C-alpha cells in the first residue's frame, strides 16, 4: 500500500512541475505575442489568456486548493481592490465589470 502512495505523491509532484512549466511557456508566449505588436492577434491573446487561467485552476487543485476556494479568493481580491480604489478600476471600471461577471456565472 505504501508503494502506491509513494507513486501517487511522485505523480502529483511531476504533474505540478509540468503545470508550472506549461504556465511559464504560456506566459512567455503571451509576452512574445505582445512584443510583436501585431494587430490581428485577438484570437491568440484569447487562447493564451484562457490557457493561463486553466493552468492556474489545475495547478491550484494539484496544490490542494478547491476551485470554489480559488473563485472565492478571486472575488475577495476584486472586492479589496475596489475598496482600495485600484487604478485599473478608476481608469476603466474593469474590476466592477469582472465582479459582476463572476457573480452572474
User: Residue 1's pLDDT band (boundaries 50, 70, 90)?
Assistant: low
The per-residue pLDDT for range 56-80, each reduced to its tens digit, is: 999 999 999 999 999 999 999 999 9
CA nearest 70: which of 56, 83, 52, 80? 56
Cα 95 from Cα 88, distance rounded (Å): 7
Q: What global pTM score does this model have?
A: 0.88
Q: What is the largest CA-CA distance in the chain?
A: 57
> Residue 4 pLDDT more than 80?
no
Q: Identify whether the C-beta of residue 51 lies closer than 8 Å to the C-beta of residue 26.
A: yes
Cα 95 from Cα 79, distance rounded (Å): 8
The per-residue pLDDT for range 9-61, each reduced to its tens digit, is: 999 999 999 999 999 999 999 999 999 998 889 999 999 999 999 999 999 99
**Cell numbers 479568493: residue:** 73
pLDDT at 90: 96
Amino acid at each position: 500500500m505504501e508503494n502506491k502512495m509513494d507513486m501517487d505523491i511522485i505523480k502529483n509532484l511531476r504533474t505540478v512541475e509540468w503545470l508550472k512549466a506549461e504556465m511559464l511557456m504560456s506566459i512567455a508566449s503571451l509576452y512574445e505575442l505582445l512584443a510583436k505588436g501585431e494587430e490581428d492577434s485577438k484570437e491568440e491573446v484569447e487562447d493564451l489568456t484562457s490557457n493561463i487561467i486553466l493552468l492556474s485552476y489545475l495547478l491550484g487543485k494539484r496544490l490542494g486548493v478547491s476551485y470554489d476556494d480559488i473563485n472565492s479568493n478571486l472575488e475577495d481580491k476584486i472586492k479589496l481592490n475596489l475598496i482600495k480604489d485600484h487604478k485599473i478600476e478608476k481608469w476603466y471600471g474593469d474590476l466592477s465589470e469582472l465582479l459582476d461577471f463572476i457573480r452572474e456565472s
